[in-house]
Structure 1
Amino acid sequence: RIGARRRGGGMHRPAHRLLAGVLDADAQRLRRAMHLAAATAGTDAALAAELEQAATGGQGGWATGAAALCRAAELSDQPAQAAVRLLAAARYAWAAGQTHQARLLLDRLRAAPVDPAVSGHVDLLRGELGLRCGAASVASTTLLASAASLAGTDRALALTALVRAGEAVCFAGDQYRYAEVGRRALALRRPNDPPATELMSCVVAGIAATLRGDHERAGPALRRAVVLGGRLTGPALTPTALTCAAAAGLVVAVDGAAHRLAERAAVLARDRGELSMLSRALELRAVAEYWLGRHEAAAETSRDGLRVARAAGQVNCANIHLGMLAVLAAIRADRDTSLRRIREIGEAPTPGSRPHALAGWALAVLDLVDGRHAEAADRLASLARLGTGRGQVLVQVMATPYLVEAAAHLAHRPAATAALAVFDRWASSTASPLRRALSARCHALVAPRGSAEAEREFRTALRLHSTEAGTFERARTELLFGEELRRSRRPRDARAHLHQARETFTLLGANRWAEQATAELRAAGESVGPPDLPAARLLTGQQLRIAELVAEGATNREIAARMFLSTRTVDHHLRNVFHRLGIRSRTELVRAFAAERHAGSASER
């Protein structure tokens, strides 16, 4: 409002002076300085410095700080100082989620005299905007230039630029360029670096080693980054540092730690109003939840990330969340939702980019569900060109269990064999029972049908599968083992595994997979009807509590207030309750719970 009045002309200047006079110079420093600036025509070096100091740190909000710094640039009497303040204004606007405003301010800097020492900072911000909102391949070049400019004056910031450049080459599918990022980061590393600086070095070194298949060097560096991330305090504790540590945790397969770090980054970004980093933190949290087997939570996190990214104009981040939502829907065999999310991505993503690969993974899973094994295998094999560093290597590693499952139905499967070799080397370098279980399952699928090797690998996978994390994947292994036993003419042995798979899928609301387990049971000679499971077993704890409150007559708004949730979240959970219980209305839900209570009372008598 102050800025609008200032632009209205000089008629309001006396009013602004009066308002500045009644404001406390300490407690209301920024507001007072803004009023003084609105009352000033021309340049005023002292007032510009006051505005800059009052806005530092975004204490009055990043958007307000951006406006103050922009005005400080206008009041500056030195062009070089004005450029520094314009850059700070752009950085604050970016933190506030005002991507368009940040771009406009950066464009103004193109025509301004920028000191060579400042150009690296300009390129860092311009590259970050490109990474989140533009052409990632161009952003990586800009970020590498930034790192080169900053290396002599600010090693920590130069390493930040290299981390971002690494993200950009991975997003674009140009992993072969990560080797250069790794070499530059190694040159910047020093003994006894501060924890936040060492963390950045470890992340780049670890990911570079992972991409070249050197897991012996990758593991220690990435685990060190995770440890450092958990120890950050004070000014070193930032959403940027925490997301770097979370990314390291995902690559080295310490999913619980990665989830905690990403969650902490998201909370910190929200608390500080740093919207520029929030979507990235939520992206990493969703991936951690995927590996932890919490698919519903991952979908909710991705929906949240999508809303944040769209509000901030971060189209690349939005497309990653859309891709993740498409994959999660496809895994649940929810064709309509998966295809809708893919359509929302549109034609914008470059072939080979991460959103493009996630969409391909989702389509391949839908092919697999429908029995189009050759099509599924072709899609998944095309995600990356192994040995070249091109394509989405990390996405293909995540999708390898689906590639092997599809290829197991084909006579010729060199791409799956190569991908499985890469997956095996990674899985064996981690301490993750889930990764090793998936590796064993893959080997069971490519072993000769009915062989002792296939049975041994399936049993190894089931032994490694946790009973808590990865419940869906355990059920998939049970289903595939049951299919193997039935087709090897051992129907009696198959039934126990198929029953277990069917029950778990029903509990998870994965109806299509439950139907497949039911069909296998019937093929194994068993007559099966609908599962007779109580609501307490069909629903998650939160879903059950919401259903109970609905049955008691509470409205969604009342439930949201009592459970400290948003009404949107209550709506989402209630739709899932209806789906899992096979009902269509609140009235049916009330009847279902009344019938269940009656049945429970009768059994007690």
Structure 2
Amino acid sequence: MAHARHAVQVADRAGGAALHRHPRIWLGGALTAVDRFAEAEEVIAVGRHEADELGTAWSQPLWAYYNASLATARGRLDDAVAEAEAGIRIAQQLSAWQLCLPLLGMLTRVAVARAQMPVAREHLRAMQRLLDEGITSAPEDVGWSFAVFQAADGQPEAALATLEEIHHALPGRLLLFANDPGAAADLVRVALRAKEPAVAGAAVDAARALAELNPAVPSLPAAAAHAEGLLKRDAVALRDAVDRYRATPRTLARISAMEDLAVVEHDAGHRSGAVELLEDAVAEATTCGARRAVERMERRLRRFGVRSRVKSSPGGAPATPLGGLTATELAITRMVAQGMSNREIAEKRGCSPHTVDSHLRNIFQKVGVNSRVALTNALHGK
């Protein structure tokens, strides 16, 4: 992060070609990795505005990727999808195919979290086509995305085989856990289901090493405690993970730790505490749109003899055309109805016009309209 800050200072001072390298991209990524989400969001917004003024279109897919990563960690999955889709469209226009791979990987993982397995499969097919053409990317973008899908599809052995390059590189290469601390517990889970406890142990050791190297980053000791608690079925470690995650903005990682703690607590005979944890986690996951976690935890609650108190509309269908919109999508719909342009909406929300365009595409599809006028009429009940 110190290197990234210094790079920004150098670019701002020197201007010209140095400024065109956009070091704020890397500063935003570093700030996200150390849990400084608000500062990362501000840096990315400034950098995007600067890129628009300089006309450096090549940087737009990267801004989208890092903003999508930030939105995913926060549990704002609809924002993450809009950002990643916008980034892919720009990358395709620029023929920057290598930038498409990490964005498609992001969309794959979010689709899995949303229980949209057919959508995730299509993203993986698009990734495979690029790979077959010789386009490459880091295993943390490619292999991890394929493995997340395989694990969700009931193929833990295949997932672990896909992750061979990643887990064999531990603890020397910690990029996966630095980018996504919650991935440590996910790797432990995959390894245990594949009956490979040695790999699970290596993941725990690596997560602990990363936490010890970065004691000021709250999510890293949380992730290490989560991974260890999951491996050892240790309620004390899992409770520590949940408590530590509460001090971070990483919503999805906290939900996962809460679910794992609830399972161990229930098995230890603490039913009421387990039910309370699961119901809280279901409420948070529902707000995020993490449907796969919601469905899994509601099944656990039924096995515990209760039903989730989080209510959904009958049959899962929205009561009105606008009922299926997320909070972000509804806010954008209202701005459209006020006559605001994509650029004006983007400035108000601190994103790019391309991201607003992605949101509008999704909104039009959900509401069943194809114009801003029709969307405004739908909002007003016409």
Task: Answer whether TM exceeds 0.5 for this pair.
Answer: yes
Name the structure 1 match of 2:349. Answer: none
> Where does 1:375-524 land on structure 2 (aligned, <5 Å)?
375-383=158-166, 385-386=168-169, 394-395=175-176, 398=180, 399-409=183-193, 411-430=195-214, 431-447=216-232, 449=233, 454-466=234-246, 469-524=249-304
Q: Deviations over 1:324-354 (max 9, x none)?
A: 2212222333212211111112344379943
CA distance in 1, matches of 2:150, 2:26: 34
Are residues 1:238 and 2:19 paired?
Answer: yes
Q: Deviations over 1:293-313 (max 9, x none)?
A: 433323222222211211111
Are residues 1:225 and 2:4 paired?
Answer: yes
- Three-state SS of the structure 2 residue aligned to 1:358 is coil
Name the structure 1 match of 2:124. Answer: 342
CA distance in 2, matches of 1:560, 1:308: 16
> Where does 1:328-367 land on structure 2 (aligned, <5 Å)?
328-349=110-131, 353-354=136-137, 357-367=140-150
Shift of 1:500: 0.7
Residue of 515, 528, 545 corresponding to 2:331:
545
Are residues 1:569 and 2:359 paired?
Answer: yes
Name the structure 1 match of 2:350. Answer: none
- Three-state SS of the structure 1 residue aligned to 2:163 is helix
Shift of 1:429: 2.7
TM-score calculated relative to the size of structure 1: 0.50
CA distance in 2, matches of 1:311, 1:386: 35
Name the structure 1 match of 2:89. Answer: 307
Q: Deviations over 1:477-530 (max 9, x none)?
A: 222211222233432221001111111122222222111111111111114476
AA at the equivalent of 1:439 = A
CA distance in 1, matches of 2:221, 2:19: 33
Between 1:227-236 and 1:401-410, the stretch displaced more is 227-236
CA distance in 1, matches of 2:265, 2:208: 25
Shift of 1:234: 4.4
Q: Sort the Cα spacing of 1:518 and 1:538 in 2 relative to 1 into closer, same or farther, 3 A.
A: farther
Shift of 1:444: 0.8
> Where does 1:76-225 land on structure 2 (aligned, <5 Å)?
222-225=1-4
Shift of 1:443: 1.0
AA at the equivalent of 2:290 = A
CA distance in 1, matches of 2:310, 2:75: 25
Q: Which has the larger radius of gyration?
A: 1
AA at the equivalent of 1:545 = A
1:381–1:403 contact (8 Å) kept in structure 2: no
Q: Sort the Cα spacing of 1:493 and 1:396 in 2 relative to 1 into closer, same or farther, 3 A.
A: closer
CA distance in 1, matches of 2:8, 2:252: 30
1:326–1:359 contact (8 Å) kept in structure 2: no
Q: Sort the Cα spacing of 1:239 and 1:531 in 2 relative to 1 into closer, same or farther, 3 A.
A: farther
- Three-state SS of the structure 2 residue aligned to 1:520 is helix
CA distance in 1, matches of 2:60, 2:170: 34
CA distance in 1, matches of 2:224, 2:298: 26
Q: RMSD of the TM alignment (CA)?
A: 3.9
Shift of 1:538: 9.5
Count of residues in correspondence between the two structures: 353
Shift of 1:414: 1.5
Shift of 1:469: 1.8
CA distance in 2, matches of 1:250, 1:239: 22
Structure 2: 5+ residue stretches without partners: 347-352, 369-374
Q: Sort the Cα spacing of 1:344 and 1:230 in 2 relative to 1 into closer, same or farther, 3 A.
A: same
TM-score calculated relative to the size of structure 2: 0.76
Residue of 81, 85, 98 corresponding to 1:316:
98
Shift of 1:404: 1.0
Greater RCO between the two (CA within 8 Å, min separation 6)?
2
Shift of 1:372: 3.5
Shift of 1:420: 2.7
AA at the equivalent of 2:187 = L
Q: Deviations over 1:264-313 (max 9, x none)?
A: 33322221111233323333333333344433323222222211211111
AA at the equivalent of 2:209 = R
